[in-house]
Each structure stands twice: as structure tokens, then as C-alpha cells.
Structure 1
Amino acid sequence: MVQMVDADRAAEMRDVLIAELRTQGKITSDAVEAAIRQVPRERFMPEGTDLAEVYGYDNSVVTKRDEHGRAMSSVSAAYIQAVMLEQAQLRPGMSVLEVGSGGLNAAYIAEIVGPQGRVVSIDIDPEVIDRAATALDASGYGSRVRVLTVDAEHGVPDEDAFDAIIVTVGAWDIAPAWLRQLRPDGVIVVPLIMNNVTRVIGFRRDGDRLVSTATEIAGFVPMQGDGGHADRVFELPDANGHKVRLAFDSGAPDDMHQLDGALATERAEVWSGVTIPNGVSFVDLHLWFAWYLDGFCRFTAEPGTVLAGEKQWFPFGVVSGGGFAYLVVRPALEGTGAEFGARGYGDGGELAATAMVEQIQAWDRYGRRTEPTFAYWPSGGQTQAPTGTDAMAKTHGVVTISWPKDSGSPQR
């Protein structure tokens, strides 16, 4: 843990952080502001973490890595913690479950629900739980938060229903056990992975289904245990043995051998005519791809491959037929913006690039200026989820996405 911290400097930086969170609309209630002001973030960070990193607006701090250096546990960025607390609509006296422990967020929750509330924080990793318990004890919250080593997929033993559940790890699905332990009018906040794209969604129960009330963009370490979900990964070697790795959340092509030798073929380019000014976010384009682009994947390119030297804003691609294509941009708007396009390789490279560009254009028509809403329909409910291109099957249910009626109907 961080020791010998300048308490006055930490308090000043906390004030600055809170002011930014208010200005950016991430804090909207006095209760969340009071919690973030009361709890010293630095006490829940690894020893030696600089206060500038502790109190950064969008800095997440890794607390544990695996043998390959991949993050297994982290303290989420301040902005997303604030958003998720707001999404949960917490009030004094509530009973709250946190899935994915670390200590800091549980302390925030305890501040909001107060002495009459109840907070349970669980994690599958006993090291993470031990660290969270130690930090909570040292910060005066040990008696207000129950910490348990539990695989969240199976719920929490010896606990009644919760008013709210806040999931702080990337979840591919919503576990039936969570819904069994959520009150009929309860709220669940979950970073839901939808075809390799994550949105933090605040859901409220509405009969058999869950209906979104708010969404936010953020990334999280993936869930471990029985609720984890592994991508299917394929490798495309180039002539020198360097590889491009394609990761499919679902819908991986049956025959990837059709891409053998693809990186040695002549590159195809297709441009969309869709532009965006510099500094304007286009993250919902990735969400659109995840829902409407058949063969959608994420990719990484080893140094030395033909793709590695190119400027890649985001590593999103598509496999279609015998071709692989990926998102690219080029200068536009007289140097003040960029145009979206796709580059493809393989015998079907131009067709794959065209498929991606068609969805860029569809996003521009139907999704660019609107915010979608989501619903989750658990399996076995009395009300069945609609079918079609706006529904995504999960293990325990179906997720649906809806765009405002005046935006038109998305088309594949």
C-alpha cells in the first residue's frame, strides 16, 4: 500500500478530480461526490503508486498480472467508478453486491448506503480478496464490507437478495445466479461484452427482462472462472513467418484455410466517403460493427508484418469469404478530419473491405447521431426475446439493441 503520503496534497488532488468528474458529467449526485471525497484512493493502490496516477481522471491501476504480463486485477479509472455508482442508483440502507473486488469501490458503496446498508464484495482470486480486506481494514471499512472468495457465476451463499449488483469485470453474459439474487425492482450494472466490444450498462428489472437505463464506454479485465469466455484465435502468417492474430468472440469462420497466403496478396482499398472531424469520438462505430458486421474480429499484428507499420486507430477487422479486411483512415476535410475506409488482403480482400465500408455507411445513416438502448432476456422467461439482426445470443439469454425510431432501421 502507499505509505508516507502527503495527506494535504492528496486531498487537493481529490478536490481537483471531483471537480473534473462533475464538469464531465460523470458525477451527477451529491451522494457519489461525498463518497469519492471521503475515501482516500491512495490507500487502495499498490505501494509506490504516484498520486498523479492515483487521482488521474481516466487512469486504471493494475494490481495483479499473470505470468504473461496480462492484467488480472486492477483499480478502475475514477471516471468509470463514478459512472457505475451513479448507474446503480444507490441509496442509504441498500444491500449491494460487488462482483470483482479491490476494496476501493466497496468503500465508496459503503459510504453511500451508510451504516444501515450492507455491502458484499466477492472475487474468485484469494490474493485479490486478501488485498481488498487488508485495505478495507486499514481504511476503517473492514466492519462495513463483507469480502468473500467466490466464483461469481454461482452466486453468493448465505445471502438474501440484493437491491443492486455492480460488476467490475468484463462479463460475456449475465449469470442466472445474479438475477436470482437481485430484487424484483433491482438494478444491475455490468460491463457487458458484445462480440468483443464492451459497454458498461445499467439495467433495471422490468418483468422477465432487464432494460438499460444508462450506458458508458470502458474496458475491464475479463471475468475468470466458470463465467469466463475464451475467444477463438487464428494466426495469419506472412512470407517471413510473422503473424497477424485474429480473435473472434463468436461467429468465427468454419474454414480459415481460405486465408492461407492472404498477406502475400496485393492489397485492396475501399473508401466510404464518411468523414469525421479530428478529436470527435467514433467509438460507437465499433459497437455497430460488433452487431451488424458478419465475420467481425479484433486483430493484433506482430512487428515486421505488413500491417504493423500502418497507422491503426483501432484493431478491428472482418473475415469474409477468402478475404480479411480492417478499418483504416486517411486525411480528409482539408486536413481537419479523416475519412473511414478498409484495406483487405486475400482472394476476397476487396469483398471483405467492401462489406466493412457498407457498414461504415450504414452507421453514418442510422447510428452515428443516436444512442442505442439494450435489453437482456433471460432464457426460460415467459416473455421471449425478438429474433433478427438486433438480437445477440448468449449462454443464459439474449441481448437486444434498439436504435431510436427516427434514426431509421439498421440494415445488414
Structure 2
Amino acid sequence: MTMVDGSQAAELREEMIGALREMGAIRSDRVAEVFRAVPRHLFTPGAALADAYDPRDAVHVKRDDRGRPISTVSSPQLQGSMLEQADVRPGMTALEIGSGGVNAAMMSWLAGPEGHVTTVDIDSDVTERARRLLDAAGYEQVNVVLADAENGFATDAPYDRIIVTVGAWDIPPAWIDQLAQDGRLVVPLRMRGLTRSLELEREGDHLVSRSAIICGFVAMQGAGANRGQLVQLRGTKVELRFDDGWPGEEVPDLEGVLDTERAEAWTGVTIGGMESFETLQLWLATAFPGFGKLRADADQRSVLVDDDNMWFDSAVVADDSVAYLTTRRVESGVSEFGVHAFGPHAADLAEVMAEQVCIWDRQHRHGAGPTFGVWPLDTPDERLPEGIVINKRHHRVTISWPAATTAATGQGNQEQQEGE
């Protein structure tokens, strides 16, 4: 690399660190320093320097035969947030699940010469690339392992920290078994189609979240992969995905529901153009058993919303009808939340969903968000906290909102069964 390139990389790196501090992705001097110390561009060969140091964007390094990313170098924003969650300290033993190279290098820098980092991936192309780039960057001490991370890596356990950098639908028992008693697991866990990076620590026989950050990752491959369940509204052009499976016994037949008259309900709840509403999606996912994610081809947009309006993939099914979140502009930079619905009971469902948006606005919009728990699969209902229960392959996941908010909806305990 030429001196000009090195100078440009250093300048871009400082700009990135400043932007990450402003976003809140970097909160500590140690995490700022690791971004300064580890040359990110060495782990994204072929990418432009500006792309390597873009604070918000990931760099895709491998795609499947359909062109979908299956291996990426995560965005600095997400890496910074997860490293802050993990708090890797000098002398620690740490495991990364999902290899890319740069994150393992940063974990190794944080763990210091007395620490030890292992990174595991199921894809030989990924591990070979990680090994090559780590060696070239001076991080030969990182242990790179080719394996299905469903089983963790017992050889170097127990781990003070485990950071998962692929989208996990469940938490395999091996990850918890290999976690030190006072260790911390940071994992992007997918719940009802929504992924949150959870900072998890032990409380007795289960794990409890200390923080949760909205995120997105390529899905885990191998034994930990999950198919979910699709329900078609208009063939493959418009579909609903239920990540944890349909919650009832009989999957609804909604084919053709979009041919009915569309109902609308507007909430009076407004939002600015740059304001996050990720807790709203979580609230709807816990308020409605039939919560799913809506996907539609571009040529179906006019069916879902009018011109200048937007639709979002947060959707709800109740019996024979479906509703989804939308917005309309009310003034420059400000939009109003609404609900569109189709089906025989569209108007009623739209009003019910709109009311939940209003409840979120009144009682949770500016709150801390829910607490997440990961419990053994045989945990009886009476031991679980109030809220929604999602039964997965290995564990029961709970999502619990503050008591006053939960009581306001009367939702109580809901149970979502795995749908494999």
C-alpha cells in the first residue's frame, strides 16, 4: 500500500470513529482505540477505502448462487455496538461465532497478549480467508476453526465472552455450556422475524439481557438454520413470513385476501424522518400472536399503499384478515402512523392494531424497552416472567415489558410454538 493510501485510510478511520461516537456505537475510549489500532481495510481487499470505512455499511465478501450475501464484514456501527456490549478485557478467553477476520482481530487486541481468541465458521472459504487476512495483519495468535458453530468449540472453553456475528434463530446448549459462569454472550437473536443483539448474562439456570440493539445479520447455516413458515397472500408476489412458525394449529389460507377492499385506520401518532421506532415493531410482535413479516414484489406496491405513503413489513394476521403498518406524510419531515388491512374483518383488525400503536406511543415510546430471557426448554410456565413466550428448538425465550405497560394491554402470558 502506498503512503498516499495509508494516509487516506488513517484519515477515513478517524472520520469513522468520530461518526461512531456521535451515533453512540462507540461509548468507551478502549473501543475507539481498537478501531484506530486495527486497519479495517486490510480485511476488505478489493473494496474501496471509502466503503471499508463507511460507518454504517457492511462489506459483502461472499454471495450464494442467487446473489444473496452469505458472508459479510459487518458495519463498523454494528461491530462497535457489539464490542461495547461484550466488554472484552485484557486476559480474557473469547469465542467468535462467524468469521470475517476484522472482528476477531479487534477482540484479540482487546484481550491483549495474555488473552486468547478463537473464531469459528462453517464455510471453508470464509475460514481460509480469515486466516490469510489475520496473518497478513499481524494477528497470527487468533485461532481460526472450520466447524459447525452449533457445537461451539469445546477445546478452548470456558469462554469469558462469546460474540455471535451471524443471525441466530436459537441459542444452542453448547454456547451456554462453554460460557464461563460469570461470562457474557452477545448474540443477534431472531424473534418473530425481528433481530436484536442481546447482551446476555446468567441468572441461575437461565440468561437475562442487559441490553438489546437492533441489528441485521446473514442467517446461520448448518444445524442452527431455521426455515420459518411462509403464507401466501398473492402467490409468491406477496407473502408473510412467520419466523417461529404459525402460532395456531391450522395455518390460515389467505390467498386472494388482497382482492378484498382495503381498510385504513390512522393513529395521530407522528414520527420524524430520522427517528427510530424499532420498539414499536417489538411491541406489535408481543401484542399480537399472529405477528409476521410482510414481503411484496415492487409491482404490488400500489395494492398496499397509495402514492407518497410507505408500508412496513410489520404485519398481523387474525383469523381471515391481515393488517400491516404504514405511514403518510403530514408535513415536511413528519409522517403519521397508520394501518392498512384486507379481509372480511379488515376494518376491525385495522382499528385494533392502530390502538396498539397508540399504546406504544403513550406508554413505551421513550422507555428502555423489554427484557429478554433465555430459559431451559423444560422450564414450567409458572416460573416464567409475564410477557410473551417463544418456544424454540433448544430454549424458551421470553420478552417482558415493564409491568405498567404490559398491564395496560392485558396481554398476560402468550405462548408461541416453534414451527419447523
Cα distance change, pair 297–140 in 1 and its aligned pair in 2 (3 A)? same
Give the one of 216, 233, 244 matched to 2:238: 244
- Report the 3-state secondary structure (helix = DSSP H, G, I; strand = E; otherwise coil) of the residue aligned with 1:280: coil
Query: Counterparts in 2 of 1:1-400, with a 5 A limit?
Result: 6-47=5-46, 49-142=47-140, 144-237=141-234, 243-252=237-246, 255=250, 258-305=253-300, 306-307=302-303, 310=306, 311-332=309-330, 334-371=331-368, 372-380=370-378, 385-386=383-384, 389-400=387-398
Equivalent-residue separation in structure 2 for 1:389 and 1:87 (angstroms) = 24
Q: Deviations over 1:143-162 (max 9, x none)?
A: x1001111111121422200
Are the counterparts in 1 of residues 231 and 253 from structure 2 also a CA contact under 8 Å? no
Are the counterparts in 1 of residues 232 and 254 from structure 2 also a CA contact under 8 Å? no
Equivalent-residue separation in structure 1 for 2:155 and 2:112 (angstroms) = 22
Query: Shift of the alpha carbon at 1:293?
Result: 1.6
Relative to structure 2, which stretch is displaced further, 272-281 or 54-63? 272-281
RMSD of aligned alpha carbons: 2.3
> Which residue identity lines up with residue 243 of structure 2 in the other structure?
D
Cα distance change, pair 383–273 in 1 and its aligned pair in 2 (3 A)? closer
Equivalent-residue separation in structure 2 for 1:338 and 1:312 (angstroms) = 10
Structure 2 unmatched ranges of 5 or more: 412-420
Equivalent-residue separation in structure 2 for 1:52 and 1:313 (angstroms) = 32
> Which residue identity lines up with residue 362 of structure 1 in the other structure?
I
Q: Deviations over 1:287-310 (max 9, x none)?
A: 112222221111211233243665
Cα distance change, pair 138–399 in 1 and its aligned pair in 2 (3 A)? same
Are the counterparts in 1 of residues 311 and 324 from structure 2 also a CA contact under 8 Å? no
Q: Deviations over 1:187-220 (max 9, x none)?
A: 0000111110011111122221212222211111
Cα distance change, pair 406–356 in 1 and its aligned pair in 2 (3 A)? closer
Query: Shift of the alpha carbon at 1:43?
Result: 0.8
Equivalent-residue separation in structure 1 for 2:349 and 2:305 (angstroms) = 21
Cα distance change, pair 382–302 in 1 and its aligned pair in 2 (3 A)? closer
Equivalent-residue separation in structure 2 for 1:10 and 1:117 (angstroms) = 28
- Report the 3-state secondary structure (helix = DSSP H, G, I; strand = E; otherwise coil) of the residue aligned with 1:361: helix
Equivalent-residue separation in structure 2 for 1:115 and 1:383 (angstroms) = 46
Are the counterparts in 1 of residues 321 and 342 from structure 2 also a CA contact under 8 Å? yes
- Report the 3-state secondary structure (helix = DSSP H, G, I; strand = E; otherwise coil) of the residue aligned with 2:341: strand
Equivalent-residue separation in structure 2 for 1:80 and 1:197 (angstroms) = 16
- Report the 3-state secondary structure (helix = DSSP H, G, I; strand = E; otherwise coil) of the residue aligned with 1:141: coil
Query: Shift of the alpha carbon at 1:86?
Result: 1.2
Are the counterparts in 1 of residues 387 and 399 from structure 2 also a CA contact under 8 Å? no
Report % sequence identity.
43
Are the counterparts in 2 of residues 92 and 117 from structure 1 also a CA contact under 8 Å? yes
Equivalent-residue separation in structure 2 for 1:359 and 1:300 (angstroms) = 22
Cα distance change, pair 5–405 in 1 and its aligned pair in 2 (3 A)? farther
Equivalent-residue separation in structure 2 for 1:303 and 1:336 (angstroms) = 24
Cα distance change, pair 61–384 in 1 and its aligned pair in 2 (3 A)? farther
Query: Shift of the alpha carbon at 1:171?
Result: 0.8
Equivalent-residue separation in structure 2 for 1:3 and 1:174 (angstroms) = 45
Equivalent-residue separation in structure 1 for 2:267 and 2:183 (angstroms) = 44
Q: Deviations over 1:250-278 (max 9, x none)?
A: 35265556423212111111222322234
Give TM-score, length-normalised by structure 2: 0.90
Are the counterparts in 2 of residues 261 and 346 from structure 1 also a CA contact under 8 Å? no
Relative to structure 2, which stretch is displaced further, 177-186 or 257-266? 257-266
Equivalent-residue separation in structure 2 for 1:381 and 1:232 (angstroms) = 26
Give the aligned length: 405
Are the counterparts in 1 of residues 305 and 311 from structure 2 also a CA contact under 8 Å? no
Structure 1 unmatched ranges of 5 or more: none
Equivalent-residue separation in structure 1 for 2:320 and 2:67 (angstroms) = 34
Relative to structure 2, which stretch is displaced further, 108-117 or 361-370? 361-370
Q: Deviations over 1:208-240 (max 9, x none)?
A: 121222221111111111111112112222xxx
- Report the 3-state secondary structure (helix = DSSP H, G, I; strand = E; otherwise coil) of the residue aligned with 2:299: coil
Equivalent-residue separation in structure 1 for 2:194 and 2:77 (angstroms) = 19
Give TM-score, length-normalised by structure 1: 0.91
> Which residue identity lines up with residue 323 of structure 1 in the other structure?
S
> Which residue identity lines up with residue 36 of structure 1 in the other structure?
F
> Which residue identity lines up with residue 45 of structure 1 in the other structure?
T
Equivalent-residue separation in structure 2 for 1:181 and 1:215 (angstroms) = 22
Are the counterparts in 2 of residues 320 and 351 from structure 1 also a CA contact under 8 Å? no
Query: Shift of the alpha carbon at 1:405?
Result: 4.6
Relative to structure 2, which stretch is displaced further, 33-42 or 360-369? 360-369
Q: Deviations over 1:34-69 (max 9, x none)?
A: 21111111111141x111111111111111111111
- Report the 3-state secondary structure (helix = DSSP H, G, I; strand = E; otherwise coil) of the residue aligned with 2:36: helix
Query: Shift of the alpha carbon at 1:384?
Result: 7.0
